[in-house]
Amino acid sequence: MVQRFVSLLMLVSTALSAVFGFCLPAVPVTTAVSEPRPAVPEWSLCDEVGGVDGSAFYILRPNPERFATVCASDFGLNPAAADNYAAFAAVIAYCRQHPRTRVVFEPGDYALATDAGFGLDGLRDIYFDGNGARFVFSYGSSYFSLSACERVEFNDLTFDWNWERSRLGSIVRVENADPAAHKLDLVFTELAQVDADVVMAAITQYDAETLTPGAKESSKEVYLYQNPGAVVSVEKTGANILRVTHNGVLDPFRDWEVYLLRHYVYGSAVFYLYNRSSHITFDGVKIYGAAGMGFVAAGGANHFQLLNTIVGLNPGHTADRRVSATADAVHIADTGGYFRIENCDFSFMGDDAVNVHDNLGYVAGKKDASTLLVRGWMAASIAPGDVLAFKDSGFRPLAFTAAAVSSVREPDGLFAVKVAGALPDGIGEGSLLYNTAFFSGHYVIRGCRFHENRARGLLLQSGFGLCEHNEFYKIMGNAIKIVMDVSPGYWQEGTGVDQLVVRDNTFRLCSYSGWGAAVVIGTNLAGQKAKTAAVFTNIEISGNTFLDSPGPVLDADNVAGLLFGGNRIANRAEFSRDINRGRLLFGFYCVSVNLSGNRWEPDPSMVFPEIPLFSNPVMFDSGYRH
């Protein structure tokens, strides 16, 4: 009966649009085009990656069978050494001078205790054969930066953190919370002793029973380092107990709640790809602890892949190390796209599992007729000749592009971005711009497991993507967020998404801590929604299974062309009563939405979930096909 009502609703909405001639934004007709197969040198291998809508792209890998082999131990790497920094640097220097080299590491644990990073500049055709070797870092700056590299592979290597020197984070239990006095005690349950000068960077609620990020329907959290004066004083009252006096930000914390106190948050990344590095492969890489992010790709990096890779807890220390990377596992921004993440496992990060986007600049004003004052780090990477595109304050595209002449940092932190020619009157304060030199689209995320991490699973903010056959389990926030998010002073991400398929995935206990729907499509422009439906176009969410969602399954807005079909929704786990549990929610700026073939399994926790909640009566189009 209800399904018939929904079908009738779809037909009526479609008819209303046709009969009354409502002027609705057209869904763009776009096609994912396959990349030409590249010429493959005899010393390379070529992976063909099947992408969205039958398209394909190619990633070249070094073929170690065609390379000369050297042993890392010949350069001085030794598990018994207190610091292997100089020896590893010598390996990299040799590889820079000798392309087509396979570097073989002997199994063992290698300490890296120098506060300096490794610059892998201009490496060509290098294969790092790890044999399970584990590298233990003591400093967050001593990671790997790949600049202008081609056909480099890291295989079967493990990276960890020197927890004995400084912990990445600690589990604490709240006792003696006194909101009136702005005091509470933190009991460091993993430690016998704690110092009063321990770094308190961020504190995030964990599930008290499972010690996983986010409590059931609760996500209390404070980024202390962003709030100077938050911690007024710290007094040691027991061997592993600190009494914290604060400015009131911790007043909502209650006795016996459990938190992760992070001592590190953002900073560096274990691997940083930039300066057009291309055809980079990570296969069988494990990151068990990192101050900052696991993998970052930026600066036009393109054609890279993570295969059979893990960012998660060290299996031998799950009882006393409850954070892996203290920020994102994978952060992809302002790249050339064409990447694959397949058969990977991501958990216990301090932030999102995978964030894919290109950055926006926010126009704070005009300096002169051809110069904008821009807020946002995207302006720092603008090069002369880059073509800039613009959107108005409602994120509607403007029919104007301009070639950049220069971008100069101003004393107030803004960037003076000069373009060739005069700027039209329609571009001014509140407008947005992005650099067309970058496009982080054309990607595949397949066969991965995303589980038990803070924030979101996937932030998919670039187009021509395929997300299939993945498992999402007990994500603190949304499992997938398709978003354009402008939060001036923090981040300005996402230029819109066209052509994205999310299919045949399993979602269970997602948005566990009450962050909204399991899947969200929407915008944030400094607290406001974009005034257009054309931010996200040609989106398909099909064949998925949604289990035990505490709230809605989907919350969508600003989308033109959405197929939500053939999905199964079932709820058994107990959560607080939510009238919209299992439901689909649609904002006003939605058009050409097709709901077909979805199945809700009856359960008392859901009240007619088949009936969507919407505010635009002509948003449905039963004829739309992705």
Helix (H) or strand (E) holding 70: strand 68-71
Bridge partners (DSSP) of residue 135 are: 110, 159
Q: Could you tell me the CATH number of the domain that includes residue 96? A: 2.160.20.10
The rounded Cα 29 to chain-centroid distance in angstroms is 28
What backbone phi and psi angles, to 5 degrees, belong to 19? Answer: -70, -45
Task: Tell whether 37 is covered by a domain.
Answer: no
- CB-based contact 133:284 (threshold 8 Å): no
Q: Which amino acid is at 132?
A: G
- CB-based contact 450:475 (threshold 8 Å): yes
Task: Mark which of 216, 237, 262 sits at the end of a domain.
Answer: 262
Q: Which two tokens stand for residue 428?
A: 């001014």
- CB-based contact 303:339 (threshold 8 Å): yes
Confidence at residue 24, expressed as pLDDT on a 0 to 100 scale: 59
Separation in Å, CA 283 to CA 201, 208, 386: 32, 34, 34
CA angle 579, 583, 586 (to 5 degrees): 110
Residue 158 shares a structural domain with residue 175: no
Query: How many H-runs (helices) and E-runs (strands) does the chain carry?
Result: 2, 52
Residue 133 shares a structural domain with residue 280: yes
Q: Which amino acid is at 177?
A: A
Structural domain range at position 400: 361-435
Q: Which amino acid is at 290?
A: A
Confidence at residue 28, expressed as pLDDT on a 0 to 100 scale: 86
* CA pair distance 551, 203, nearest whole angstrom: 25
Task: Tell whether 386 is covered by a domain.
Answer: yes
How big is the chain, counted in residues?
626
Q: Could you tell me the CATH number of the domain that includes residue 384? A: 2.40.30
User: Domain count of the chain?
Assistant: 4
* CA pair distance 506, 224, nearest whole angstrom: 35
Residue 181 shares a structural domain with residue 122: no
Residue 235 shares a structural domain with residue 278: no
Q: Which amino acid is at 237?
A: T
Task: Tell whether 98 is covered by a domain.
Answer: yes
Confidence at residue 21, expressed as pLDDT on a 0 to 100 scale: 47
CA angle 63, 67, 72 (to 5 degrees): 110
- CB-based contact 572:549 (threshold 8 Å): no
* Burial class of residue 602, CB neighbours in 10 A (0-12, 13-18, 19+): exposed
Bridge partners (DSSP) of residue 591 are: 560
Task: Tell whether 124 is covered by a domain.
Answer: yes
Bridge partners (DSSP) of residue 331 are: 296, 355
* CA pair distance 118, 142, nearest whole angstrom: 6
Residue 324 shares a structural domain with residue 307: yes
The string over 450-481, giving b where at least 16 C-beta atoms fall within 10 Å of a residue's C-beta and e elsewhere, is bbbbbbbbbbbbbbbbbbbbbbbbbbbbbbbb
Residue with tokens 């589990």: 171
Task: Mark which of 219, 246, 262 sits at the end of a domain.
Answer: 262
Task: Tell whether 28 is covered by a domain.
Answer: no
* CA pair distance 55, 275, nearest whole angstrom: 26
To the nearest 10°, the Cα dihedral for 400, 402, 408, 409? Answer: 20
Helix (H) or strand (E) holding 295: strand 292-297
What backbone phi and psi angles, to 5 degrees, belong to 131? Answer: 55, 30
What is the DSSP pairing of strand 258-262 with strand 202-206?
A: antiparallel
Task: Tell whether 216 is covered by a domain.
Answer: yes
- How many Cβ atoms sit within 10 Å of the Cβ of residue 89? 16
Task: Tell whether 557 is covered by a domain.
Answer: yes
Task: Mark which of 262, 287, 312 sits at the end of a domain.
Answer: 262
Confidence at residue 10, expressed as pLDDT on a 0 to 100 scale: 56
This prediction has a pTM of 0.96
Q: Which two tokens stand for residue 578?
A: 């939510």
- CB-based contact 187:177 (threshold 8 Å): no
Q: Which amino acid is at 10?
A: M
Residue 340 shares a structural domain with residue 289: yes
Residue with tokens 């994500």: 475
Q: In sequence order, which residues have a C-beta less than 8 Å from that of residue 64 and are 6 or more positions away?
A: 102, 127, 129
Confidence at residue 156, expressed as pLDDT on a 0 to 100 scale: 99
Residue 148 shares a structural domain with residue 271: yes
* CA pair distance 384, 274, nearest whole angstrom: 18
Helix (H) or strand (E) holding 86: helix 85-97
* Burial class of residue 570, CB neighbours in 10 A (0-12, 13-18, 19+): middle
DSSP notation for 311-360? ES--GGGTTT---SBSS-SEEEES--EEEEEES-EEES-SS-SEEEE-B-
Residue 243 shares a structural domain with residue 307: no
Task: Tell whether 113 is covered by a domain.
Answer: yes
Residue 122 shares a structural domain with residue 174: no
Residue 447 shares a structural domain with residue 413: no
Residue 337 shares a structural domain with residue 369: no
Q: Could you tell me the CATH number of the domain that includes residue 214? A: 2.40.10
Confidence at residue 1, expressed as pLDDT on a 0 to 100 scale: 47
- How many Cβ atoms sit within 10 Å of the Cβ of residue 242? 22
Separation in Å, CA 519 to CA 238, 374, 449, 479, 502: 44, 32, 16, 6, 10
Residue 186 shares a structural domain with residue 312: no
Confidence at residue 3, expressed as pLDDT on a 0 to 100 scale: 55
- Per-10-residue mean pLDDT of the chain, 626 residues long, equals 56 55 69 95 98 98 99 99 98 99 99 96 99 97 94 99 98 99 99 98 98 97 96 98 99 99 95 98 99 98 99 98 99 99 99 98 95 95 97 92 97 94 94 97 99 98 99 99 90 96 99 98 93 95 98 98 98 93 97 97 94 91 89
Q: Which two tokens stand for residue 136?
A: 């233990």
* CA pair distance 35, 9, nearest whole angstrom: 41
- CB-based contact 565:587 (threshold 8 Å): no
